[in-house]
Amino acid sequence: MNSYAPQNTSNKNSLPTTHTTSTPAQGMSIQVLERATRLLDALAREDEPMPLKDLAQATGLHTSTTHRILNDLVIGRYVERVDSGLYRLGMRLLELGSLVKVRLNVRTVALEYMRELHKVTGQTVNLALRQGDEIVYVERAWNEYSGMQVVRAIGGHAPLHLTSTGKLFLSAWGSRQVRAYVMRTGLAGNTRNSLTRYEDLDRELSVVRRHGYARDNEELELGVRCIAAGIYDESGELVAGLSVSAPADRLHDGWIPVLQDTARNISKALGYEPYRQANND
C-alpha cells in the first residue's frame, strides 16, 4: 500500500471505547471554536460590515471576548477589519469555499470518465488535486483485480515532486516558484528513484511541458509506476491530475493517448475550451 495512505490499525474484534476524557484545555478550545463560528455566522447574515458592539450583541458574547476572537480571525484572514472599525467576512473563506467547490465539481464530473478509463487499462485510475506542496487523492476507480498494492486511498497525500500529478502542477509554475518549492521541501526522497536535486527535477519538468503528460518512475513507491495528464477548468487553470497507477512491469505507454483523451474530455465537461485558451494566450 502507499505509505501516504491512512492506515486503520484498530482491532476489529475489540469493543469500542465508551468513555472519553476531556481536559480543561480541550474544553476551552471547543468553546473558542464555537464562539468563532457564531461570529462568522453573524457576519454571514448581514450584507454590510458590522461594528464590534453589534457583533457582541448578536452572538451574546462579552465585548472583550468578541474583540479578542475577532482579532484572531483577522490574523487568519477569516475576517477583515475595514477602516471605520467595522468587520466583514474575509477572503480566506472565499478561498476555502472555492477549493471545496472545485473538488466537488471535478469529482462529480470525472467519475464516469475514470470508470471508462479503468475498463480500458484494467489498472487503478486516480483523481488528485494540489493542496499546498502536496497532492491529495480525491477519487479513484479500481477493482480487486487491478493491483491492490497500488490503490491510493482517498484522502491520501504525497509531495508534488514524487508523483506524476504533482509534476504536472510543478510544470505549470515558473522557475522561481519551483525553486521556492525546492527550498521549502528540500526535495526529500522516498525511494532510490526519487528526484532529490533541483537540476534533475528541472530537467524532468521540461519533459513534462514538452509532452503534455507526466510520469512517476517508482519515485513514490518502489514497484509502482504512474502516468498523469492534466484537467483544466473553464478559465484554463490546471485544477486536477488524472493518473493511471500500475505495478512497474504492467504499465505501458500505449495507455497515454487514451489517458490524455480522457483528461481532455473531463476538462471540456468542466467548461474548458482549448481553442479559446490558445487564442487568449
Are residue 121 and residue 164 in the same domain, yes or no? yes
CA distances from 168 to 11, 40, 187, 191 (A): 39, 36, 16, 20
Least-confidence region, from 67-76, 126-135, 139-148: 139-148
Residue 11 lies in a domain: no
**In the prediction, which pLDDT does 199 show?**
97
**In the prediction, which pLDDT does 261 show?**
97
Are residue 75 and residue 180 in the same domain, yes or no? no
Quick check: 100 and 117 in contact, CB under 8 A? no
**In the prediction, which pLDDT does 20 show?**
46
Quick check: 245 and 224 in contact, CB under 8 A? yes
Residue 6 lies in a domain: no
Q: Sorting pLDDT into bands at 50, 70 and 90, what band is 139?
A: very high
Last residue of a domain, one of 69, 89, 109: 89
Last residue of a domain, one of 39, 58, 89: 89
Are residue 248 and residue 119 in the same domain, yes or no? yes
Q: Which residue has the higher pLDDT, 275 or 232?
A: 232
Residue 9 lies in a domain: no
The tally of domains found in the chain comes to 2
In this predicted structure, the answer to whether residue 235 has a pLDDT above a threshold of 80 is yes
- Its pTM stands at 0.66
Are residue 219 and residue 268 in the same domain, yes or no? yes
Last residue of a domain, one of 52, 69, 89: 89
Q: What is the percent of the chain with per-residue pLDDT over 90, rounded to a whole number?
A: 65
Average pLDDT over residues 13-28: 48
**In the prediction, which pLDDT does 83 show?**
75
Residue 10 lies in a domain: no
Residue 39 belongs to what domain range? Answer: 24-89
Q: Distance (Å, rounded) from C-alpha 139 to C-alpha 136? A: 9
Are residue 116 and residue 70 in the same domain, yes or no? no
| Residue environment code for 217-244, b if the CB has 16+ CB neighbours within 10 A, otherwise e | bbbbbeebbbbbbbbbbeebebbbbbbb
DSSP state letters, the chain: --TTS------TTSPPP------HHHHHHHHHHHHHHHHHHHHHH-SS-EEHHHHHHHHT--HHHHHHHHHHHHHTTSEEE-TTSEEEE-HHHHHHHHHHHHHHHHHHHHHHHHHHHHHHH-SEEEEEEEETTEEEEEEEE--TTS-GGGPPPTT-EEEGGGSHHHHHHHHTS-HHHHHHHHHHHTT--SSTT---SHHHHHHHHHHHHHHS-EEEESSSSTTEEEEEEEEE-TTS-EEEEEEEEEETTT--GGGHHHHHHHHHHHHHHTT--HHHHHHH-
Average pLDDT over residues 242-259: 95
Residue 12 lies in a domain: no
The C-alpha cell at 67 is: 474583540
In this predicted structure, the answer to whether residue 263 has a pLDDT above a threshold of 90 is yes
- Here the CATH number for the domain that contains residue 59 is 1.10.10.10
Q: Sorting pLDDT into bands at 50, 70 and 90, what band is 197?
A: very high
- Here the CATH number for the domain that contains residue 121 is 3.30.450.40
Are residue 44 and residue 127 in the same domain, yes or no? no
Burial of 15 from C-beta contacts in 10 A (0-12 / 13-18 / 19+)? exposed
Residue 182 lies in a domain: yes
Residue 222 lies in a domain: yes
Are residue 79 and residue 128 in the same domain, yes or no? no
**In the prediction, which pLDDT does 259 show?**
98
The C-alpha cell at 168 is: 504536472
Q: Distance (Å, rounded) from C-alpha 215 to C-alpha 224? A: 11
The C-alpha cell at 41 is: 455566522
In this predicted structure, the answer to whether residue 180 has a pLDDT above a threshold of 80 is yes
Are residue 46 and residue 149 in the same domain, yes or no? no
Q: What is the mean pLDDT of the chain?
A: 85
Q: Sorting pLDDT into bands at 50, 70 and 90, what band is 74?
A: very high
Residue 249 half-sphere exposure toward CB, CA atoms < 13 A:
0
**In the prediction, which pLDDT does 99 show?**
66
Are residue 85 and residue 135 in the same domain, yes or no? no
Are residue 74 and residue 110 in the same domain, yes or no? no
Are residue 66 and residue 161 in the same domain, yes or no? no
Average pLDDT over residues 204-220: 97
Residue 89, strand partner residues: 79
Are residue 152 and residue 203 in the same domain, yes or no? yes
Residue 175 lies in a domain: yes
